[in-house]
Amino acid sequence: MVNQKLVGFEVKRIRADFPILDRETQPGIPVIYLDSTASSQKPIAVIEAMNVFYRRSNANIHRGVHTLAEEATALYEEAREKIAKFINAPAAKQLIYTRNTTESINLVAHTWARANLKSGDMVILTEMEHHSNLVPWQMLKSERGIRLEFITVTEEGLLDLDSYRSLLDQNPKLVSFTHMSNVLGTINPAEEIIRLAHEHGAVTLVDGAQSVPHFGVDVQKLDVDFLAFSAHKMVGPTGIGILYGKQDLLENMPPFLGGGDMIKSVHLQEFVANELPYKFEAGTPAIAEAVGFGAAVDYLTSVGMDAIAAHEHEITEYALERLEEVPGLNVFGPNSQDKGGVAAFTFDDLHPHDIAQILDRDGIAVRAGHHCAQPLHEKFGVRATTRASFYLYNTKEEVDKLIEGLYKVKEVFN
């Protein structure tokens, strides 16, 4: 559950920071962006930070001793420090820059898992996972013969913790789960899941793609072993993400990719890997994107994560109430007390793509499809859903426009 106390949050001021929200998709039709679960919009502060980097300090990092190289290196590492503070990591060197959440999870699967899992070892996942936290483990199953088991999702869209406890009795090696579902919006009890896993000797990995952008996540409080998340879902740029890991785990993992910067020394027949975090960061990284990531963290911190969570809760609660008014519409997932800013729904027997296209005529951007969670849709007996998702810049007026748009959809198909 999120903090519902909303103090001093001025959504009008927030919206002024996001230039794309001034856009009209057609003359007189402003954009209503309800797709932040897929990728958020970017404030001027992030856009300008990357622009200034390219204009003033663009150079490769860690290698050069000239002014531009030293400035670029400092900006890149300062961003890592900011992100570490944002999630309360003990040290910045425990944060590995990756391309996105997907790559972060794959890094764990290719390094820690391949070094520690053998045929028959069990990995616990959940039925609500994004494909990014399914396919890497399915690949390892094919390669190594590991065993995959799943925490059941109830009809209400919550994890069945009794089924989880039963699985824990079978001595899993890893428990990997989403902090917040990108379809159901369910905010899972991560601290309890992690505690129980540790009591049974399992390592934990949390997919934080939908949690870190929306409410405060403290890795030390959670006691999580690995946490993966992406900048582009938290008002930052695309093409960069983070893998946080406990230091002892990261130090004992083999490198992920080979090449420049991940080495301490190289000879014709052998190499010595670099220290943390660099042994996992081969080649020229996304430097400007790291700068933008740091600016995104600065922006979210200035607004306040508690305030963002409270605003989203207020918008989501209102949206769920309004969606209930629409005949023939069924929203998936729990009520607003256990839910983040996501409303995935079916509408009569209409195809989600048709719904999304008609809403787009009024500038309303929603997502249609299985949202990279096909097994979850199969669980609920549907092939696809339409998904509206909310963030710090959305308003109740935009929710009202969504409801108006859905009635128009009904008129078109009637």
Instruction: Provide the CATH number for the domain around residue 91.
Output: 3.40.640.10
> Which of the following is catalytic: 249, 263, 273, 372?
372
pLDDT in tens, 396-405: 999 999 999 9
Total structural domains within the chain: 2
Domain boundary among 302, 335, 359: 302
pLDDT of residue 353: 97
Q: List the chain residues with pLDDT less than 70.
A: 1-8
pLDDT of residue 7: 44
2: tokens are 């999120």
pLDDT in tens, 142-198: 999 999 999 999 999 999 999 999 999 999 999 999 999 999 999 999 999 999 999
Domain ranges, residue 398: 11-39+304-413
Which of 223, 233, 210 shows the shortest CA–CA distance to 175?
A: 223
Q: Helices (DSSP H) in 87-227: which residue ranges?
A: 101-108, 114-116, 135-144, 161-168, 190-199, 219-222
Q: Is residue 148 part of a domain?
A: yes
Which of 372, 114, 108 shows the shortest CA–CA distance to 241?
A: 108
Domain boundary among 241, 273, 302: 302
Is 372 in the active site? Answer: yes
pLDDT of residue 3: 39
Helix (H) or strand (E) holding 203: strand 203-207
3-state secondary structure (DSSP) of residue 182: coil
Cβ–Cβ contacts within 10 Å for residue 10, how many?
Answer: 11
Q: What is the rounded CA–CA span in Å between residue 257 and residue 228?
A: 18
99: tokens are 């391309």
Q: Taking the complete model, does pTM exceed 0.85, yes or no?
A: yes
pLDDT of residue 5: 42
Q: Is residue 185 part of a domain?
A: yes
Domain match, 59 and 30 both:
no
